Structure formats: structure tokens, C-alpha cells
Structure 1
Amino acid sequence: MKRVKLAEIAHARSGDKGDGSNVGLIAYSDRGFELIAREVTVERVKAHFGKICLGEVDRYEIPNLRALNFILHDSLGGGGTESLKTDAQGKTHGMGLLEMEIEVPENFVR
């Protein structure tokens, strides 16, 4: 097994709704989706965003798109104009998730 950043096997989109951030993680391949579905759990995402996500994390699977969607509740300091955070709209949370590392087989190619 080897460790790789999610950016090597998936891409992401993110945005916001009020004080919550919405992060979509889309695998490049079916095998990549199998790996992210197994490795990128609610608990791991919550820990990864631990300093900014003060609420719960929800996860939704969209297998026909090879995607996972995460809602990070209470992650934007009030959201929009209420927040003192630099990224009060959550636009960079997708890039932040792509920095997470997971275990993949040594011979894995995206």
C-alpha cells in the first residue's frame, strides 16, 4: 500500500449555503470511486477540517457520477457577510479536501 493525496485520484467542487460548506469529491475512475467510498469517511473528513468545521458532517454517495458529497455544518463562521473568515463562502474547501491522503494499492493508477 502507498499513501496518495486525493488530488491524484479525484477532483472536487465546493460552495456554500448559509453557514455550511458543500464539498463534492469526484473520482476519475471506477476503481478510484471504490477507494474514496471506502477511505473518505465522515469521521476522516471531520478530522481533516477539524479546526474549521464545528458542526456535523453529512456524506451522500452518488455512484453513477463516481462522487461523494459532503456537507460541513457550521464551517463558515456564520457565512457570507457575518463571518470574519477569509473564505466565508467555502470555495476553497474542495481544494482543502484534495490535500487529504488515503491508502491505495501500490500498483494503483488513476
Structure 2
Amino acid sequence: MRPLRALAHVRTGDKGDTSQVSVIAYDAADYPTLVRALTVERVRRHLSSLSVGSVQRYELPRLGALNFVLERALGGGVTRSVTLDAHGKTLGAQLLDLEIDDGTAG
């Protein structure tokens, strides 16, 4: 088990109350591990302390990336939220802490 940050980095964006988090493998060989480990349900559970609405996952194999669209994830929108740092950058950083099985355990 390793934190996701050992295999990938993230790019994020916010629009209204929706956040997008793209998880991008450092090495294309690790992309299948990301596809297997980062299911919609697993991402939703990992972010369960937040009141995220729907979560959609889009696979971008040629980029070695997964894009997650998180609806109702920003407390009404970045400019309306009363929570501190409820932006995509924070969600991306939290997601990078997720422990995943990368198949390297003996």
C-alpha cells in the first residue's frame, strides 16, 4: 500500500459548486493501477467528510489520467462557501493521501 501521491499528481479546477480533479500518472505503466484503484465509490468514500453530491469519472488513457467531476462539492461555490479552502486544490491534495494497492507488496 502506498499513497496515491507516489504514483500520480493532480490538477484541479472549480466552477460554481462543481470541482474537477484530474489524477495523472507519473508513469504510463501505472495508469491501469489508477483505473483499478480509483473507483467512483472509493473516491466518494475518501471524501465522505465533505458533502459531495454526484461523482463522475472519465478515463483518459492516452493522457494516463482520470478526471473526476464532483458536483455540489464546494459548499455552494467558492465565493459562497463558509468553509475555509473548499476549493479543488484542497480536494486534490486530500485525494492524494488515499492509500492504494499498487501491486508491489511481496
TM-score over 0.5 for the alignment? yes
Q: Partner of 1:21 in structure 2? A: 19
Report the identity percentage.
Answer: 47
- Which structure 2 residues correspond to residues 23-102 of structure 1 after superposition, within 5 A? 23-102=21-100
- The Cα offsets for residues 6-37 of structure 1, whole Å up to 9 and x where unpaired, read as 10000101121110111000001122101001
Equivalences, count: 106
**Which residues of structure 2 form unaligned runs of 5+?**
none
> 1:53 deviation in Å?
3.7
> 1:81 deviation in Å?
2.0
**Which residues of structure 1 form unaligned runs of 5+?**
none
Separation in 2, partners of 1:92, 1:9:
18
Q: CA RMSD in A?
A: 1.6
Which secondary structure state, in structure 1, belongs to the residue aligned with residue 75 of structure 2? coil
Separation in 1, partners of 2:28, 2:36:
13
Which secondary structure state, in structure 1, belongs to the residue aligned with residue 93 of structure 2? helix
- The Cα offsets for residues 87-108 of structure 1, whole Å up to 9 and x where unpaired, read as 243222111111001112226x
Q: Which runs of 4+ in 1 moved over 6 A?
A: none
